Every structure is written in C-alpha cells, then in structure tokens.
Structure 1
Amino acid sequence: MQRSLLSFFLLSFLLITGCTAPRAIINSGKVTAQGQFKAGLNFGGNIATEPISQLDDITKSAVNAITKKDSIYYDEQIDVFAKGLTAYALDPVGPTFDFYVRYGLAPRVDVGYKFASGAHVFDAMYQFLGPIGTPENPGEGSLYGSVGLQYTGQKANLPGRALLNKLEPVLDFYATRRDLVIPLIFSKSFGPEEEIGNISWGVVYNHTFIKYGFDPGNIFTKYADRVTKVEAVREKNNFASYGAFVNGKIGFRYVYLLPALTMYYQNYGTYKVLGGQKHSFSGMTFIPSLGIQVNIGRNTKTAPPRRRY
C-alpha cells in the first residue's frame, strides 16, 4: 500500500510539466502569527473545460503523421492543432503539486513563497478582521477576514501525455504568462485561534497576461502555383477570471490536513493563430486539492487581553 502511494505521488510529480497556473486558495482568514512560520505541500488538479474540449480534437495518429513530414501544407488539421495549443496555454490541464512557506511579518501581515508546478509564486496577506493571537495566547473572537495579492510568472510547457510536446517544435509554439490573484477570505475558527482547524470561504479575482506565438519554418500555403511559408504569429492578450472557494483545516496545533476546492469562470477572449484564423475561448475551471501544513516556531508575544464581564 505504501509503495503504491509513493508511486502515485512520484508519477504525479513527473507529469507536472504543464506549468499549471497556481490559483488554488488554501489560506484561511487568519494570517500567520508574527514571528512564526508555516510550511506545507499540496497535491491537486487543474480541470478546465475549454482546453479539455479542444484537446479532444487532437488524435495520436494525426500528431504522429504530421511530425514525420519535412514540409507541411496548412489545412484544417493544422488549425485544430494551433487552437488546441493556444487553449492549453491559457489554462493548462493536469495534476498539480506545490510546496510553500509562510512567515508572519507583522501583527496582521504575512508573506509567502510557493514553488508550484515549476512556477515561482510570491504573495502577501493582510488580516482586517479577527484576533491576532495564538493558541497559547488567544485573542477574542473566532471569525477572521483577510485580503491578499499573489504574483506568478511562468513559461507554458507542454506535457508529453497530451501529445502536445510533439506539436510544439512543428508549429514552433511558445507562451509566457503572468498571473495576479486577489482573494478575499473569511474563516471560522475551530478552537481558540484555529488550534483544531477552521472552515474558510470567499471569492477570488484573477487577471492573466499572456504572450504567445507561432513561428513554424516548414508549414506552407499553396495558392494556385505559388507556395509561400505561413506567416509567424506574435500576439499578447489578457483576461479576467472570477472565482469562489471553500477550504478547511483539520488537525491540532502543529500539523493539519487541508482539503480545498476553488472554482473559476473566465472568458479568455479571442486569439489569432496560424493562417490568419481567430478563435474565442471561455469556460469553467475546477481546482480540487489536498495538502499537509506544519506550524513552525512558537509566538511568545502576548495577544491583546480578552474582555471579562
């Protein structure tokens, strides 16, 4: 059983080459206490309806046939490939893995770093609601609220299991993206200062800036007796995503289990591909995850005293 679990986690890690945008919300409304650290890891998946529908049109036989050709004439199949590559870069589908560390910078502010599916992620949270104590020195109240800002920059890599890596050199496709995520989080504590855990919920806004292009050297168009090379495409675009989430934390003081579900809707917009074609994309994204979190260090500062009646 242990060997099977190890094999599953190793396989999941090796398959994470698609640089899935790290948009899962696992934090609670309570920030890390000043001077303390949190560290953890998460396993999950990015399930996006639009890229999945586009990838369904790409078959193994068609990909193998085109990669064996020295010269290729532009046709409907090339358009299907270009459309699928673009859709995947907008919202990569696949398993996700990340590990992170957070530090309590000030009484109501913490900062974090995350290495997520090959991407570097930086964020900060500000707690505007609820106490700022610890289980050893609890404050008054059990409802928390915070707002955050997260930045991610990454290059879109294409996974072999979706056959897209074989198409990348043929169409000479590339893409880079930058994501800004702003979550508004509320949580209810289980026990004093989330000693036993919490339940969290809220809304999240994400804005993605993407640059992409195609620069194939061996794809041609034929007009009567004239053969010309397909023109390169270099474009940039941006789109907004609107989401909601629910997550939990279950454990005691130092070690916790974190289940979470984040959902987004986005209209990705219209994108130019090869042959002067343009395609529009929109759809839902579901991001389930399960993680483990460890609290490190102990805050010796005393929280504001509780009121006594």
Structure 2
Amino acid sequence: MKTQIPLPYRPLFVALAGLLAASCSAPRAIVATGKVTPQGEFRVGYNQGFNIASAPLAKATSAVKEAASQATSQQKVDYTDATTQLQAAALAYILDPVQPTADLNVRYGIVPRLDAGFKYAFGSYVFDTQYQLLGPVGTPENPGRGAASGTTYASIGLQFATQRAKLPSLPFLSDINSLLNFRATRNDLLVPLTFSQSFGPEEEIGAISYGVVYAHSWVSYGFAPTKIYANNQVVSPLPTTSRNFSSFGGFVNLKLGYRYFYVIPAVSVFYQNYGDYALLNGASTSLSGITVVPSLGFQLRIPTSAARR
C-alpha cells in the first residue's frame, strides 16, 4: 500500500526534496561556538544555507547558456572560444557552486575540551573535531569555575569532507555536462578559529561567536567529449587532472535559545584564488572569487543523566 502525500502539502514536499537533492557540496557555514560539547553530552542539529559564489555567477553569462543549449542540439560541435567558456563555467560550479546547502549533524563530548562530530550533507560526508582553548568546561546545570554571562570561550576546529562532485541541477549545466561528459571528485579541509561570548552561564541562553577560517581543497576532474571537433578530428579527452587551492575567510553566528534547544543564524565569507586549470584542446582558464554563505541552523542539546539530576 502506497502512502499518499496530502495534496495541500505536495508542493512543499517537492520543494524540500529538490532543495535537499541539490545540497551536495561540503558545508562551509560555521555554526559552532568557542565552547565545545561537554564530556558525555550529545548535540544534534540541522543547518540550511546557501552558497553564493562570484566565480560561477561571472561565468554563467547569457552567451554561455545559449552556447550550451545550441551545442546539445548539434551532432558535431566545432571547438571555439565558446567551448572554452563552457568548460570554465563547469569548473567554476564544481569548485564553488551557487546552490542551497544542507546538513544533518551530531556531536559528542569525548573528554573535557575535546569533541567530535559527523555531518551528512546529502552527498558529502564530513568528519570534524574541535578543541577548546579558553573558557570553563561546565554545563548550564553545573557551571564551571568562572562561568558567567559574558565569559569568553575560544576553540580551534578541524573539518574534513569528501564527495563525488557533480554539477547543480540547472538546465544549462545539464547541457554542458552532456556535451563535455564532465566528471570530478573533491576533498575539503576546514580549520576555523572561533571566539565567543556567552549569554548566561555556560551558554545557557546562547552566545555570539566570530572568528577566522582557513580552508584547502583538492579537486580531480576530467572531460571526455564525443562530438567536439578540432581540425576535423574529435578532440582528445582531458585525462583526470588534479589541482588544489586555499581559501581564507571570516564568520559570525548568533546562538539563541534556552538550555536544550537553540536557533543559530550565521554568515561566512571566503576569498579564494582557485588557480589555473587545463582544458580540452590545450586551452586553460584561471578562476578566483568571493563566496558568501548565509545559513540558519537548529540545535538540540542532550545533556548527560548526571547533569539533569
């Protein structure tokens, strides 16, 4: 027996499903505070954001979109400057896509001042850990020595994400992919340094957090077209090529709630020089740009039984 979705909710369900299906990039929203998860506690959450990157937006011109549409309807495509631009657009979207991002996450306090977590970003798998450099390690039920409203916390984190990259589900990118037979994988490393001021003892009603972040990404990609010609011969495929690049940024987030449930709006800003990338037919392209990542998260704190007594 099939379960039917009530008619009034179907548009909402379809929109949500499409949103999650598009969210296959590694999350770069920083929603953590300077205080790590206390030992023995769990925190679970959900974050929804949007990756707004200048490089792919600059490459997605109307001329590129028209060229992609025309090329897919042809049996034979001559290699021109437009073909180079199509490859550059595909790379820009793989390196830093313009699309929604979402993740489900869980964290656990391993020992005092150290926790670890896992995020599932609907196509990207993320492992991270965080070490607390400054501030007490108590809980709202049992505050540590010196814990009060306004107490400063600081921590440093390490996040690793791996994924088989794919182009977002946009019509002109699907046209590009069918023409170029584009494939890519990527791994991302993120190192945030976070400072925060507590609202209430041990972040009982939240905190304001800010900091800087360094990221490094490793990308492998290739093109294997079958109908692009140069000098009346099919263009040779571009074998798998590997590149890496660094990103630098800053962030701020606000954690608001009470003891067990919190809402976390956040924004992160990154700059990256992606470097030079080889293309088909001996061509190449250079990419750089700024990325803004606004997000909204929800977090549930699950204290230990000892803390609840």
**Which is further off, 11-20 or 259-268?**
11-20
Q: What amino acid does structure 2 have at the position aligned with 1:106?
A: V
Deviation at residue 5 of structure 1 after TM alignment: 9.6
Contact 2:22 2:101 in 1 (8 A): no
Q: Does 1:72 align with 2:77?
A: yes
Distance 1:198 1:9, change over 3 A: farther
Q: What amino acid does structure 1 have at the position aligned with 2:136?
A: P
CA distance in 2, matches of 1:62, 1:184: 44
Q: Does 1:209 align with 2:218?
A: yes
Instruction: Specify the SS of the correspondent of 2:222.
Output: strand
CA distance in 1, matches of 2:68, 2:198: 52
Distance 1:57 1:240, change over 3 A: farther
Percent identity for Structure 1 against Structure 2? 46
CA distance in 1, matches of 2:13, 2:181: 32
Superposition map of 1:141-180 within 5 A? 141=147, 142-180=151-189
Q: What amino acid does structure 1 have at the position aligned with 2:282?
A: G
Task: Give the TM-score normalised by the residue count of structure 2.
Answer: 0.90
**Which is further off, 189-198 or 293-302?**
293-302
Pairwise CA RMSD of aligned residues?
Answer: 2.0
When the two structures are aligned, how many residues end up with a matched partner? 296
Instruction: Specify the SS of the correspondent of 1:63.
Output: helix
**Residue in structure 1 matched with residue 199 of structure 2 by the alignment:** 190
Deviation at residue 300 of structure 1 after TM alignment: 2.2
Of 208, 218, 238, 1:199 maps to 208
Q: Where in structure 2 are there 5+ consecutive unaligned residues?
A: 1-6
CA distance in 2, matches of 1:121, 1:109: 17
CA distance in 1, matches of 2:277, 2:201: 51
Contact 1:19 1:119 in 2 (8 A): yes
Deviation at residue 127 of structure 1 after TM alignment: 0.5
Task: Give the TM-score normalised by the residue count of structure 1.
Answer: 0.90
**Residue in structure 1 matched with residue 130 of structure 2 by the alignment:** 125
Q: Where in structure 1 are there 5+ consecutive unaligned residues?
A: 303-309
CA distance in 1, matches of 2:283, 2:157: 39
Q: Does 1:105 align with 2:114?
A: no
Of 84, 87, 97, 1:82 maps to 87
CA distance in 2, matches of 1:166, 1:276: 22
CA distance in 1, matches of 2:132, 2:289: 32
Q: What amino acid does structure 2 have at the position aligned with 1:214?
A: F
Q: Could you give the per-residue CA deviations for residues 248-294 of structure 1, whole angstroms, max 9, x where no partner exists?
A: 10000011100000000000001111221111111100000001110
**Residue in structure 2 matched with residue 277 of structure 1 by the alignment:** 283
Of 233, 237, 253, 1:247 maps to 253
CA distance in 1, matches of 2:56, 2:256: 34
Q: Could you give the per-residue CA deviations for residues 190-228 of structure 1, whole angstroms, max 9, x where no partner exists?
A: 001000000000000000000011111221102xxxx22
Q: What amino acid does structure 2 have at the position aligned with 1:134?
A: T
Distance 1:287 1:172, change over 3 A: same
Distance 1:213 1:114, change over 3 A: same
Of 282, 294, 297, 1:291 maps to 297
Q: Could you give the per-residue CA deviations for residues 89-130 of structure 1, whole angstroms, max 9, x where no partner exists?
A: 111111111110111111111100001142110000011110
Contact 1:29 1:186 in 2 (8 A): yes
CA distance in 1, matches of 2:24, 2:54: 17
CA distance in 2, matches of 1:284, 1:5: 37
Instruction: Specify the SS of the correspondent of 1:163.
Output: helix
Distance 1:91 1:12, change over 3 A: farther
CA distance in 1, matches of 2:10, 2:157: 34
Contact 1:48 1:93 in 2 (8 A): yes
Q: Does 1:50 align with 2:55?
A: yes
CA distance in 2, matches of 1:273, 1:59: 16
Deviation at residue 18 of structure 1 after TM alignment: 6.0
